[in-house]
């Protein structure tokens, strides 16, 4: 039976999707992260959950084949994506050849989960980074159904999610493409949901729409955008909690994917430090870091390259300002205190102490906004 207390459990849901007797459920712990829960009265001791555990995934590619700085040729497309639009353009190609794409969406209740897209319109909801751990639900079973039905599939997600998918599938499929994001760490779904409830209470209004990073601002600005009807408000309270790393899943501090031995076909991220590599290539609308890790990834990238401005770079250049390609996020000394305080205080207290929602923080925000930063 799978070890339920494993620190390296990433919550990938492979065991839940794979259990032949439905004995495993994914249940939130006190921090709001999903972990497997086994109904021992149903368990038949087949050990499949151990065999397909994503945290034990051992697929390793060699060093990256190519590293590129990339931006979509159409500015309006870059404005709708998080970085340079690499994940979007790869996804669009898969839909155009009749395939299906899986990625993370903000659901109607503003929780973040994975979903399936068959049309270009449906891809829109995947655009933009959602800085919270996405719930994979039963998507792995849908992916297997699609692949067994002969469909081409592109799965996008964090490396630990794709490791879970690969473990769940057991065998390789020629028609499966995988694109992972460079990942700094995933914050708790509970903190995100509590934050939104707190904002609604503060404004005494219902939220209509939310974005983790407002895409109309300069690339690199980290404000979340909250819409109360047509009233748009920018904050960086949640962003501050995200960047503090206090609300990350425990496994993020021991992430075995945060290095240059990338395991999936293509890796995408932000090309932080592009100004040091090529000041001419840099602008304020988002540049993607793209790492091609396999022959299959190379072929997929070649199919979309006419839509992109591309600059070949080196891994040394790419890692200068992107430490998540070299090591997992450092665990802050304040993590235990954060959670102790989280469980014993109101969200207003957490917003003030960890999200900079103090008078000083508010003045800083107003000045930054006035300076357009």
Ligand X SMILES: Cc1cc2nc3c(=O)[nH]c(=O)nc-3n(C[C@H](O)[C@H](O)[C@H](O)COP(=O)(O)OP(=O)(O)OC[C@H]3O[C@@H](n4cnc5c(N)ncnc54)[C@H](O)[C@@H]3O)c2cc1C
Contacting residues toward ligand X, per CB under 6 A: 81-88, 103-104, 112, 126-132, 134, 156-158, 181-184, 186, 268-270, 288-289, 322, 324
Dist CA 118 CA 94 (whole Å)? 9
- Return the number of the residue (99 or 157) whose C-beta is nearest ligand X: 157
Q: How many CB atoms within 10 Å of residue 8?
A: 15
Strand partners of residue 157: 180
Residues near 255 by Cβ (< 8 Å), separated by ≥ 6?
A: 159, 160, 183, 185, 328, 329
Q: How many CB atoms within 10 Å of residue 4?
A: 12
Q: How far is the CB of 330 from ligand X (least distance, A)?
A: 12
Q: How far is the CB of 259 from ligand X (least distance, A)?
A: 13
- Return the number of the residue (24 or 215) whose C-beta is nearest ligand X: 215
Q: How many CB atoms within 10 Å of residue 65?
A: 16
Q: How far is the CB of 229 from ligand X (least distance, A)?
A: 25
Residues near 223 by Cβ (< 8 Å), separated by ≥ 6?
A: 213, 214, 217, 234, 235, 236, 239
Q: How far is the CB of 46 from ligand X (least distance, A)?
A: 30
- Return the number of the residue (129 or 246) whose C-beta is nearest ligand X: 129
Angle at 131 between CA 128 and CA 132, to 5 degrees: 125
- Return the number of the residue (10 or 82) whose C-beta is nearest ligand X: 82
Dist CA 111 CA 135 (whole Å)? 8
Q: H/E element holding 36? A: strand 34-38
Dist CA 125 CA 113 (whole Å)? 11
169: tokens are 């599938």
- Return the number of the residue (36 or 103) whose C-beta is nearest ligand X: 103
- How do 34-38 and 66-72 pair as beta strands? unpaired
Q: How far is the CB of 74 from ligand X (least distance, A)?
A: 13
Q: How far is the CB of 6 from ligand X (least distance, A)?
A: 21
- Return the number of the residue (35 or 155) whose C-beta is nearest ligand X: 155
Q: How far is the CB of 55 from ligand X (least distance, A)?
A: 17
- Return the number of the residue (18 or 128) whose C-beta is nearest ligand X: 128
């Amino acid at each position: 039976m799978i070890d339920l207390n494993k620190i390296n459990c990433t919550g990938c849901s492979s065991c839940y999707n794979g259990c032949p007797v439905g004995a495993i459920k994914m249940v939130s712990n006190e921090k709001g992260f999903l972990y497997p829960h086994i109904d021992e009265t149903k368990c038949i001791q087949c050990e499949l959950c151990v065999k397909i555990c994503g945290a034990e995934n051992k697929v390793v590619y060699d060093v990256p084949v190519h590293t590129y700085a990339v931006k979509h040729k159409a500015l309006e497309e870059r404005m709708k994506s998080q970085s340079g639009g690499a994940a979007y353009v790869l996804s669009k190609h898969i839909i155009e050849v009749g395939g299906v794409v899986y990625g993370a969406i903000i659901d109607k209740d503003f929780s973040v989960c994975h979903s399936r897209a068959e049309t270009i319109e449906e891809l829109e909801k995947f655009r933009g980074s959602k800085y919270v751990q996405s719930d994979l639900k039963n998507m792995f079973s849908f992916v297997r159904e699609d692949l067994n039905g002969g469909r081409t599939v592109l799965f996008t997600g964090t490396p630990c999610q794709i490791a879970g998918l690969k473990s769940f599938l057991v065998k390789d499929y020629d028609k499966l493409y995988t694109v992972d994001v460079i990942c700094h760490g995933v914050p708790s779904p509970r903190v995100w949901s509590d934050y939104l409830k707190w904002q609604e209470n503060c404004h005494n209004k219902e939220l209509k729409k939310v974005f983790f990073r407002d895409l109309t601002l300069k690339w690199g600005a980290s404000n979340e955008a909250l819409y109360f009807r047509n009233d748009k408000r920018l904050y960086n309270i949640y962003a501050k909690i995200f960047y503090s790393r206090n609300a990350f899943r425990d496994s993020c501090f021991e992430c075995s994917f945060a290095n240059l031995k990338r395991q999936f076909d293509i890796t995408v991220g932000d090309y932080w430090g592009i100004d040091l590599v090529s000041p001419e290539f840099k602008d304020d609308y988002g540049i993607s870091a793209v790492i091609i890790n396999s022959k299959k990834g190379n072929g997929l990238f070649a199919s979309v390259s006419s839509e992109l401005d591309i600059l070949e770079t080196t891994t040394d250049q790419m890692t200068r300002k992107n430490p998540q390609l070299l090591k997992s996020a450092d665990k802050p000394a304040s993590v235990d205190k954060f959670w102790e305080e989280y469980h014993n205080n109101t969200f207003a207290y957490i917003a003030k102490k960890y999200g900079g929602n103090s008078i000083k923080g508010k003045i800083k925000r107003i000045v930054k906004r006035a300076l357009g930063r």
